[in-house]
Amino acid sequence: MAWPFTKPAPVVDFVPDTKSLGDPTAELLELFGAIPAGTSISNAEALSVPAVSAAVRIISEAAASLDIRLKRKVGAAETDVTEHPALKLLTGQANGWTSGFELIRDLVASALTKDQGGVAYVTKVRGEVREVILYRDGVFTVDTDDKTGEPKYRLEGKAVPAANVVHVRGPFTKCPLTMARSAIATASAMEGYANGLWTNGARPGGVIQTPNKLGAEGVKAMLAGWKAAFSGKANAGKTAVLYEGATYQQMALTSVDGEFTASRTFQILEIARAFRVPPGMLFELTRNTWGNSEQQAKEFIQYTLIPWLRILEGAFNRALLTDAERADYRFAFDIDDTSQADLTARATAISTLIAARVLNPNEARDWLGMQPRPGGEEFANPAIDTAQPANDNQSQEAA
């Protein structure tokens, strides 16, 4: 008689989810009591703080708004390349549902708000790029080698080569949003307190004091008479008449309330520091003047925008160009476009460069997006060089 037996269950390897205390997350810090419970804030909650969303938008949208060009080195000079599959993706459609503008904007926004940075997959056919796809969170993962820092990319659990990945990230292992999470959480808590204060009407406009005992019915009658006599636009500014020795005391904001307002302003400055955005660009205009506003705009371009543009250029060069192409080709953002808003300054700069023979008229016209004109390749100063006609009208009159 055969002994009954039970088929043994298959052995499944269990891979634990390991966390490093050398680079702890907010959850681990809270678990071990390093930070008080409740001080962490999710990315969605952080982006609901207006100063945070404004900082992310102004950096990402400014980067995406600039023209990107593909340069080719020919001898000692560089020329613009207009026909290249990768350039068409960045200036046109990155894929069937994402424009090049949206791709660049979302890559920078992800780098500002996610620790793994902005990651996009490049589809290539026989070495030629066909589309760039920015996947949602969790679909594309990045694991970093503990010793070398080399990233390992996985798309839906499958390893993909780094040559097919556009990876945009900041200088640290944490994004600016994570590094400023405490400051953002404080700003969010203050905003919630202020919302509750005014929504719930926690502070009355004034108090009516009387030496007599009115009782519940007497209080109702007094309030009803007060509202009937003085509430509404028609009764605004009327002289209040009180009876039975009653007095009215206006409620005013205390010094504590004033400090609360100053603290909210300080948190905006903290968020501006974290994202390296001038406070005026987050509409904190307390100390803004006509002079320093212009200086802040220049500092934003030089110290905030240009570093992110260089990161983008490097990521595009690595993933969208072949090894052979990288020897002569490179992507470059046209930083001159940052002067488009100030037409007077732009015109003065162009005129000065032409007069100094740094640019010729056709190069300046190309800068303005205009077609070249005959004779515009000459490097001459139109203010002192009378051998050349000043413009096309003079040339036609001479003829």
Report pLDDT digits (tens) over 372-396.
889 888 888 877 765 555 555 554 4
The mean predicted confidence, pLDDT, of the chain is: 81
Please state, in angstroms and rounded to a whole number, the distance separating the CA atoms of residues 360 and 378. Answer: 6
SS3 of residue 82 by DSSP: coil
331 pLDDT higher than 90: yes
Q: What is the pLDDT of residue 37?
A: 44
Angle (CA) 33 34 40, round 5°: 90
Parallel, antiparallel or unpaired: strands 118-125 and 128-133: antiparallel
Mean pLDDT of all residues in 194-215: 70
In whole angstroms, what is the distance from residue 372 CA to residue 357 CA?
Answer: 17
Please indicate whether residue 360 or residue 397 has the higher confidence score (pLDDT): 360
**Packed helices 306-320 and 100-113: angle between N→C axes, nearest 10 degrees:** 110
Least confident of 10-24, 107-121, 313-327: 10-24
Write out pLDDT tens, residues 129-138. 999 999 988 8
CB 141 within 8 A of CB 151: no
Q: Answer yes or no: is pLDDT of 234 > 80.
A: no
What are 263-309's pLDDT values in tens digits? 888 899 999 999 999 999 998 888 888 778 888 888 999 999 999 99
Distance CA 190, CA 206 (A): 25
For the chain, the residue count is 399
For residue range 242-269, what is the model confidence (pLDDT) as tens digits?
A: 767 778 777 665 655 557 777 888 899 9
pLDDT surpasses 90 at 177: yes
Q: Which of 247, 278, 275, 79 lies closest to 178, judged by CA?
A: 275
Statement: the pTM of the whole predicted model exceeds 0.95: no
Other beta carbons less than 10 A from residue 59's beta carbon: 24
Q: How far is CA 98 from CA 106, 118, 134, 264, in A?
A: 10, 15, 9, 37
For residue 205, the one-letter residue type is: G
Mean pLDDT confidence for 182-207: 74
pLDDT at 23: 45
pLDDT greater than 90 at residue 114: yes
Among 170, 171, 106, which Cα is nearest to 132's? 106
Identify the CA nearest to 104 among candidates 340, 311, 325, 367. 311
Report which of residues 200 and 383 the model is more confident about. Answer: 383
Burial 105-121 (b: 16+ CB within 10 A, else e): bbbbbbbbbbbbbbbbb
Using CA atoms, how far apart are residues 34 and 240, in angstroms rounded to an integer?
57
Residue 394 tokens read as 């003079």
Bridge-based pairing state of the strands 165-168 and 158-160: unpaired
Instruction: Collect all residues with Cβ–Cβ distance below 8 Å to 386 and sequence separation of at least 6.
Output: none
Structural tokens at position 237:
């500014």
